[in-house]
Each structure stands twice: as structure tokens, then as C-alpha cells.
Amino acid sequence: MVALPLLGAAILLLFGRRTDRWGHLLGVVMSLGAFAVAVAAFVQLLGLPEAQRRQGVRLYEFIPGLADMGLLIDPLSISFALLITGVGSLIHIYSIGYMSHDPGRRRFFAYLNLFVAAMLLLVLADNYVVLFVGWEGVGLASYLLIGFWQFKPTAAAAAKKAFIVNRVGDFGLLIAIFTIWTTFGSVAFNELTGGAVNGAISSGAASQGTITAVGLLLLLGACGKSAQLPLQSWLLDAMEGPTPVSALIHAATMVTAGVYLVVRSGAFFEAAPTAQLVVTIVGVATLLAGAIIGCAKDDIKKGLAGSTMSQIGYMMLGAGLGPVGYAFAIAHLIAHGFFKANMFLGAGSVMHAMNDEVDMRKYGGLFSVMKVTAATFMIGYLAIIGFPLLSGYFTKDGIIETAMEHNQILGWLAVVGAGITGFYMSRMVFMTFFGKRRWADDAHPHESPSVMTVPLILLSIGSVFLGAFLILDNRLMRFLAPAVGLPEHLPGFHPFSVPGLTTLALVAVGVVYAWFRYGAAEVPRVAPRGSFLTTFARRDLYGDALNEALLMRPGQWLARFAVFFDNRGIDGLVNGLAAGIGGTSGRLRRVQTGYVRSYALSILFGAAVVVGALLYVGNM
């Protein structure tokens, strides 16, 4: 699984322009090959008894005494592997058409293969050290892809921003790994079970504070990769990359890594209720923040980016609820992978037809000329807002109901987030596909070629049926049990519960309000100034301003002080000492005149001093 896309990236990068004519095909074949291996591994895993569905594959000794290079095939890792390779392969196929006229297409597919390989290594790792190698590989690949169009200053800046912000989270993950090693003497997942962690607390080998610190540090790493508060500022800027990159980051790879890390590290969070509570609070705060941001974005890709930020918040909320929430979080992650990839690629199809225009105020009425793109996009839209019987209806409502049982406040805030989702996603659909045509004179929208529409159709099918398949009869929960455990009481699906009905009602209110604002009413081509709240959302809740005030400006002052102290303090001391010796030497050398009479006079004066001193001592 890992070797095939990694080999594809190596061939395309090392052989360079000699692979330009067929490089994109090699990239697709390698990704499909990885998907085939994942399916074969999945089938083989299903054939094993439940107690044996956790197979380790040791490759070689990586760091002696610390960690081997090894892979772990269990229900959790294979679920992610199927999503990464399956949705990733559809994005590869779509990219053949989307990047057909780009001179760097071969390099683009090399980076896509590298991204898939790094993400696979991350989820298949059997210990934290190997996971960190894949973690950094994902960061590198995202940097290369977000900044793929380096001639655009905004793209280059966005790539650097994503890379630097993620280093903050990576620092937390590193400290967590160091702490785990020093406390438990191991970084292997199969040795860091709930029993091992609780046993270490009971025996005094690890304090409750240490376990809580590990959980919070792991959460910091997850916040960086999954764009959760307070490390979310890179996500919307990352839309500067080609649209297939946005789909890959938001649906199948990078932003899902944080959720995976929290679920895989469940033993630490379950033993540290404080850290677990912080995970749920971060998730709820982020799902609300992302939804609010999505309400005010006219850029279709940034609107979808705010949506991703919000939906990952739901997954984090589920991951913070323990074993009963893990299955709902992973189910929502898998379903989200399909409908979010569907909508991002649909947005790319619209941009492809509209001369790369991203402003939805310059769309309108595209349903009549792009029926396949519009229909598939709307299926993804219905799935994400939780329309009954579509994927999101089962997965997101499961998270909300589970949250209600644990904490009423967090649960009702998640319900409010669902209502806002209904508004901003409906706003996007009405502004893009309905209403009056607001196209530019040189725009001639048309349906995309089949190499782009077929992946949209396949993704929309998953958006319809996947949620029910995973949730009903607790199918995914039972499947994941060997990896994450099984709750004492299996939850049922309650479509007519008070939270479920309230969620549907709020979503309906959001849809109706969006229709009156952006469907029935005329949409101005120039965005009105709006209220303070609108400005607040347009500026990403002032996240960048906050980072600048709290981190960047103090960092600049610290750097300037360090330079001043270095120049005037350390260098001043060294240079001052050298100058003092030099000045003293310059003055003393004047004593050396070169005249014999001067030296004779000096000797006479010195002899007189010595004689006088001897006479004085002799008389004492």
C-alpha cells in the first residue's frame, strides 16, 4: 500500500520531464494499485476471527532500543486506508482532466502520490515514531501541493503558513512522544493499551497529571493537522492550491489525521477525563467557528473550507466521547470524505467552466448548463446538512445524540451548529446553481469532461448510502471493536428523538432563510458591507489578527531584543575587551622610542628605584 504510491512519486520526480507524457497515468495506476492492496487486506482481515483482527508487520529495526519500522493492520487503520486510497484514486482520475493544460502536471501527480504514501504510513504505523514520520511526510506534501503554483505570491505564502502553523502542533506531538517513552518505556500501540495506562497510574509509575499532559499534547498535534482552534488559521489560505489538492486535504488525508491520532490514542484520553473534556470543547468551539465563517464567504472554495473545519469539529467532539463516540466520529469521517470530496471536485468543475472564477456572486443559474456537476454537488450538500436517509443524517446525528448523553450544553451547541450548516451550505447552492445568471461576458460555462464527472457520480453514490451502511445495526462500531473497544451498551439509532427532530427543524429553518436571502432575492454582484458579525466572519473571526497580536508581534519584539542584546551585550563585551587591550597596547608602545639614551635613562631611573627600595627595607 505504501510502497506503490511512494514508488510512483520517486519515478516521476527522479526521471523528470522524460515522464511528462505518461506521468499522470502512472500516478493514477499507483494509487489504484494501493487501493487494490487495501481491499485485499480488508477482505483478508474480515476472514479472520475477531480476536485476530490486529496484525502487525515488522519491516526492520528503525531506531535501536526505541522503535521498529512496523505496520499495523487492524479495523481502524484499514478503514482509513480504504478511504485514503479509494477517494484519493478518484481525485487522481479527476486531476487528469482538471490539470490537463498545466505544464507541471507530471510533478503534480508525483506530489499527489507522495501525499497518499505519507498518509498511508501515518495510519498504518504500529508506533508513534513511525506515525510521526508519516505525519511529517503529510506536512511536506501539503506544503508542496498548496504552493504548487509558486508564481502566485498568495500560494507561496499559504504553503509557508500551513507548514509553520503545523510545526506548532508537531512540537506538541513530539513532546507527547518523548513523555510516553520516558514514562512507559515503549511507543508501540499494542503495548500502550488502556490496561497498561491504568496499571501505570495504579502502580505510581505514571501520575494522573502526566497522563493528562500527554493527552493535551496529543490534542495540540491533532489541532494543527486537523485545523482545530487555535491552530485553524492555515486552512482557508490553503485554498490557493489547485482544487484537487483541496479535495485531497479536506476529504481523505491531512485534516483527518488529527481525528485518527485522538482515536488511536484513546487509552490516554480515557484515563484522563480532563483531556477528554478539552477535546470535546475544542471540537464544539471549532464546529461553531467554522460554520460561522462559512456563512460569510463568497469564495466557493473558502466556504467549503469553513465547512470542513466545522465538520472535523463534529468528529473531534465524537472522538472525545470515548468508545461510544469513536464509531460515530470515524463513520462521519468516512462519509464526509465522500461528500466533501464530491463538493470540492464539483467546485473545481464549476471553476473549470467559469475561467477559474471562485466568487459565487458571479455565478448563478449554472444548473441549466452543468446538470451533472449540479446534481452531484447537491447530493453532497444534502448529505452534509443531514437530509433524512443520506449519509450525514446518520453519522452527524449520532454524534449529536451521543454528546447529549454526556453533556447537554455541548450537545445543544452541536445542534445549533447543524442549523447554521443548513444555512451556509444552502446559501452556497442557491448562489451557484440557481437564481439569475451573473456571469462575466467572457464566461461560457459548460459541463466538464467525463474524466471529471465520473468521479463526481461515484462519490455522490457514497454520499447517499454510506452513512446508513455504517451506522445501522452498529455495523462500524462492531467492526472497530478489536481496535478501539466496544462500549458497555450499544447505542441505537433514534430518528424521532428530541435532539434529532430539533436538528432537522433548525436545518429546515436555515435552508428556508437561505432561500429567501439568496434564492428568491436578487444577489448583488458586489458584496454589501454587512454588519459587524458579517465582517467578523469574513475575517475568519480575526484569527490571523489574534495570532499576530499574541504571537507574531511579541516574537518580533523578542527577536529585536535578542539582536540588540547580541550586538550591544555579547558582541559589545567581546569587542569592548578587544578595543580596551588594543587601546592600552597603542599607548604602551609609545614608551618604546628606539633611542639608547632613553633606555639608559630608564635603566638609571629603575636602578634608583631598586636601590631606594633596598635602603628603605634595610632601615626597617
Q: Which three cell numbers stand for residue 186?
A: 515503549
> For residues 398 and 331, is the Cβ–Cβ distance under 8 A?
yes
Residue 593 has pLDDT above 80, yes or no: no
pLDDT band at 571 (very low <50, low <70, confident <90, very high): confident
> For residues 317 and 276, is the Cβ–Cβ distance under 8 A?
no
Report pLDDT for 372: 95
pLDDT tens, position by position, 285-304: 999 999 999 999 999 999 99
Least confident of 37-51, 317-331, 537-551: 537-551
Average pLDDT value for residue range 14-31: 94
Of residues 378, 368, 380, 349, the one with CA closest to residue 448? 349
pLDDT band at 534 (very low <50, low <70, confident <90, very high): confident
Report pLDDT for 409: 94
- % of the chain beyond a pLDDT of 90: 70
Average pLDDT value for residue range 5-17: 95
CA distance 563 to 557: 10
Report pLDDT for 118: 96
pLDDT, the chain, mean: 92
pLDDT band at 568 (very low <50, low <70, confident <90, very high): confident
CA distance 557 to 106: 44
Q: Taking the CA atoms of the chain, what radius of gyration do you get in angstroms?
A: 31
pLDDT band at 535 (very low <50, low <70, confident <90, very high): confident
Report pLDDT for 366: 92
Q: Which three cell numbers stand for residue 223?
A: 489541532
CA distance 227 to 221: 10
Average pLDDT value for residue range 428-455: 90
Strand 55-63 and strand 67-73: pairing? antiparallel
Report pLDDT for 527: 84
CA distance 415 to 266: 25
Q: Which three cell numbers stand for residue 575?
A: 569587542
Report pLDDT for 591: 75
Give CA angle at 174 (169, 180), nearest 5°: 125
pLDDT band at 424 (very low <50, low <70, confident <90, very high): very high
3-state SS assignment for residue 9: helix
Q: Which three cell numbers stand for residue 289?
A: 467557528
Give CA angle at 92 (87, 94), nearest 5°: 95
**DSSP conformation class of 230:** T
Average pLDDT value for residue range 410-428: 95
CB neighbour class for 17 (10 Å; exposed up to 12, middle 13-18, buried from 19)? exposed
Average pLDDT value for residue range 242-246: 93
pLDDT band at 4 (very low <50, low <70, confident <90, very high): very high
Average pLDDT value for residue range 188-204: 91
Question: 453-486 in b/e burial notation, b at 16+ Cβ within 10 A?
Answer: bebbebbbebbbebbbbbbeebebbebbbbbbbb
Report pLDDT for 79: 96
Report pLDDT for 562: 92
Residue 26 has pLDDT above 80, yes or no: yes
CB neighbour class for 262 (10 Å; exposed up to 12, middle 13-18, buried from 19)? buried
Name residue 484's amino acid.
V
> For residues 452 and 345, is the Cβ–Cβ distance under 8 A?
yes
Average pLDDT value for residue range 448-461: 95
Report pLDDT for 602: 83
pLDDT tens, position by position, 389-399: 999 999 999 99
Residue 594 has pLDDT above 90, yes or no: no
Residue 467 has pLDDT above 80, yes or no: yes
pLDDT band at 310 (very low <50, low <70, confident <90, very high): very high
Report pLDDT for 51: 87
Q: Distance between alpha carbon 513 and the CA centroid of its chain, in Å?
A: 32
CA distance 408 to 280: 12
pLDDT band at 458 (very low <50, low <70, confident <90, very high): very high
Average pLDDT value for residue range 541-566: 87
> For residues 419 and 507, is the Cβ–Cβ distance under 8 A?
yes
Cis peptide before 230 (omega within 30 of 0): yes
CB neighbour class for 529 (10 Å; exposed up to 12, middle 13-18, buried from 19)? exposed
Report pLDDT for 451: 94
pLDDT tens, position by position, 478-517: 999 999 988 877 787 777 788 889 999 999 999 999 999 9
Give the global pTM: 0.90
Report pLDDT for 493: 75
CA distance 508 to 443: 34
CB neighbour class for 450 (10 Å; exposed up to 12, middle 13-18, buried from 19)? exposed
Residue 590 has pLDDT above 80, yes or no: no
> For residues 194 and 485, is the Cβ–Cβ distance under 8 A?
yes
Residue 620 has pLDDT above 80, yes or no: no
Give the sign of the dihedral formed by CA 533, CA 535, CA 538, CA 541: negative
Cis peptide before 244 (omega within 30 of 0): no
pLDDT tens, position by position, 55-99: 999 998 888 888 889 999 999 999 999 999 999 999 999 999 999
pLDDT band at 443 (very low <50, low <70, confident <90, very high): confident
Helix axes 450-471, 391-406, angle to 10 degrees: 40
Kindly give, in sequence order, each residue whose CB lies less than 8 Å from that of residue 608, ignoring residues fewer than 6 positions away: none
